[in-house]
């Protein structure tokens, strides 16, 4: 088959790891007889430099003409002092919104090969398999009013608004229940209902929707407790559903259960075109040195095959190839441990692509 893929190489380590993501897709193309056409789009810092805005109109237009968007990472110190709506991050949030990608899936699955790269004890992280479903285009990241204003006495005040409409909660919660149903049938909903009204509505809505999913066991957890439980006993979790900011924070935390944030992809779906990206950022401190771990980007390509292009077998082939290369002992510096073979970004991509072809 033929697929048109939007490619956003991004900032920092973005272009380096994207190169390996494309290499792996091309290997899948060769193996399964697909043709991937790549259409480059710009957002974030690279778009600011090229077009003076973090999200050119052309970018959204082009993405909507393709089958999926493979995204890298945005941001860096160079653009940090720009006003909020001109920052690279505004480009990322703008794309998510324009694509109506309301659901962000973030799997945190232990690679048993890498357990010792986690800062947590082996028995705590062994075999964990969690998926965080984060609401992505609502909540405090988008709520209005927002801004920095002057009070009558001249003092400045910064304002953000955390609000959720019931319909926004319902659609993300349903999607999370559907995923839980296909897994271990356990859903944990995160909120701060002891303090926040928006969380009270969230909790009530989860309970209401749960009546349609009596086969799924649901429990509620305050976000502060969840942050603690995730490192205390992560095996208690299967699917976690959370609003935008809670999901953002907990998914970074959960990534460390797996050893390195450099391993984890995410899928942003729900709208006409899905977006697939690493969970990690643009890591400007190591950019350009060829040492970044490309696995999250490669796993993002696998998620794109699964959720964006409906190619489950191809997705699994990528995931197995990653496991195979890790089993052979190859490691980028972020996941290096004694007795393993340290390699660079490009070599990691080469080995995974080779493993796909030979699979």
Residue 16 binds which entry of ligand IPM, Mg ion, none, with Cβ cut-offs from 5 to 8 Å by kind?
Answer: none
Distances in Å between the alpha carbon of 90 and those of 98, 108, 263, 331? 12, 26, 24, 33
Annotated catalytic residue within 127, 178, 204, 224: 224
Strand order in the sheet with 2-10: 35-40, 2-10, 68-73, 274-278, 265-269, 103-109, 129-135, 239-242, 186-191, 217-222
What's the CA gap between 251 and 108, in Å, rounded? 8
Site string for ligand IPM, 228-257 (x = CB under 6 A): --------------------x---------
Question: Catalytic residue among 192, 213, 238, 307, which?
Answer: 192
When CB distances are held under 5 to 8 angstroms depending on the partner's kind, the choice from ligand IPM, Mg ion, none that residue 292 binds is none
d(CA 236, CA 225): 13
Kindly state the tokens that stand for 40. 């480059």
The minimum distance between CB 285 and ligand IPM, in angstroms, equals: 16
Residue 129 is a catalytic residue = no
Q: Among Mg ion, ligand IPM, none, what binds residue 92 when CB lies within 5 to 8 Å by partner kind?
A: ligand IPM
Residue 335 sits in the site that holds ligand IPM (CB under 6 A): no
In the complex with ligand IPM, the residue whose CB is nearer, 45 or 349, is: 45
Judged by CB, which is closer to ligand IPM: 266, or 345?
266
Q: What gap in Å lies between CA 235 and CA 125, rounded to an integer?
A: 8
* Rounded Cα gap, residues 326 and 131, in angstroms: 22
Residue 306 DSSP label:
I
Out of 252, 340, 347, 350, the active site residue is: 252
CA distance 92 to 136: 11
- By beta carbon distance, the residue nearest ligand IPM is 89
Q: Residues in the chain, how many?
A: 359
> Which of ligand IPM, Mg ion, none interacts with 132 (beta carbon under 5 to 8 A by kind)?
none
Instruction: List, in sequence order, every beta strand (DSSP E) within the chain.
Output: 2-10, 35-40, 68-73, 103-109, 129-135, 147-150, 156-159, 186-191, 217-222, 239-242, 265-269, 274-278, 330-331, 341-342
Least separation in angstroms between CB 88 and ligand IPM: 8
Question: Can 285 be counted among the known catalytic residues?
Answer: no
Which of 55, 92, 176, 301 binds ligand IPM (CB under 6 A)? It is 92
Binding segment for Mg ion (CB under 5 A), chosen from 30-38, 77-85, 245-253, 285-293, is 245-253
192 is catalytic: yes
* Residue of 67, 191, 238, 248 marked catalytic: 248
| Binder of ligand IPM out of 89, 113, 168, 191 (CB under 6 A) | 89
Q: Is 248 in the site for Mg ion (CB under 5 A)?
A: yes
Q: How far is the CB of 134 from Mg ion (least distance, A)?
A: 9
Q: Rounded to whole angstroms, what are the CA distances from 7 to 22, 68, 277, 311?
A: 9, 9, 10, 18
**Site residue total, Mg ion (CB under 5 A):** 1
Which of 150-162 are b and which e, b meaning 16 or more Cβ less than 10 Å from the residue's Cβ?
Answer: eeeeeeeeeeeeb
Output helix, strand, coil percentages for the chain, rounded to the nearest 5.
Answer: 50, 20, 30
107 or 349: CB nearest Mg ion: 107
Q: Which listed residue (23, 42, 87, 141) is catalytic?
A: 141
The answer to whether 224 is a known catalytic residue is yes
By CB under 6 A, how many residues form the interface with ligand IPM?
A: 5
Other residues' Cβ atoms within 10 Å of the Cβ of residue 123: 9
Q: Which is nearer to Mg ion, 168 or 248 (CB)?
A: 248
Active-site residue flag, 252: yes
46 contributes a contact to ligand IPM by CB under 6 A: no
- Dihedral sign for Cα 323, 327, 333, 336, please: positive
Output 213 or 276, the one with its CB closest to ligand IPM.
276
Where along the sequence are the contacts to ligand IPM (CB under 6 A)? 75, 89, 92-93, 248
Q: Which residues bind Mg ion (CB under 5 A)?
A: 248
Q: What amino acid positions are annotated as catalytic residues?
A: 141, 192, 224, 248, 252
């Amino acid at each position: 088959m033929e697929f048109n893929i939007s490619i956003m190489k991004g900032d920092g380590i973005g272009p380096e790891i994207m190169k390996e993501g494309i290499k792996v897709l091309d290997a899948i193309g060769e193996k399964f007889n697909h043709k991937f056409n790549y259409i480059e789009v710009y957002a974030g810092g690279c778009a600011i430099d090229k077009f003076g805005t973090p999200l050119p109109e052309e970018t959204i237009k082009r993405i909507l003409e393709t089958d999926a968007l493979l995204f890298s990472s945005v941001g860096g110190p160079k653009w940090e002092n720009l006003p909020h709506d001109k920052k690279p991050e505004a480009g990322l949030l703008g794309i998510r919104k324009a694509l109506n990608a309301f659901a962000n899936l973030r799997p945190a699955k232990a690679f048993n090969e890498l357990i010792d790269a986690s800062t947590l004890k082996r028995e705590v992280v062994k075999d964990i398999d969690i998926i965080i479903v984060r609401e992505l285009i609502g909540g405090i990241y988008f709520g209005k009013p927002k801004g920095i204003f002057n009070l009558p006495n001249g003092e400045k005040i910064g304002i953000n608004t955390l609000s959720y409409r019931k319909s926004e909660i319902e659609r993300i919660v349903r999607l999370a229940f559907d995923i839980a149903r296909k897994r271990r049938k356990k859903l944990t909903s995160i909120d701060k209902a002891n303090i926040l009204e928006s969380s009270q509505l969230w909790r009530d809505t989860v309970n209401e929707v749960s009546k349609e999913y009596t086969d799924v066991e649901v429990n509620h957890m305050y976000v502060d407790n969840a942050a603690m439980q995730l490192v205390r006993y992560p095996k208690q979790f299967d699917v976690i559903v959370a609003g935008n900011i809670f999901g953002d924070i907990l998914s970074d935390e959960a990534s460390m259960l797996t050893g390195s944030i450099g391993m984890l992809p995410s899928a942003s779906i729900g709208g006409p075109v899905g977006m697939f990206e690493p969970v990690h950022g643009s890591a400007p401190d190591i950019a350009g040195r060829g040492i970044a771990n490309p696995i999250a980007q490669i796993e993002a390509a696998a998620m794109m095959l699964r959720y964006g292009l409906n190619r489950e077998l191809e997705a699994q082939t990528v995931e197995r190839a990653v496991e195979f290369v890790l089993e052979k002992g190859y490691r980028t510096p972020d996941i290096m441990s004694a007795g393993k073979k340290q390699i660079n970004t490009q070599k990691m991509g080469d080995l995974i692509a080779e493993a796909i072809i030979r699979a």
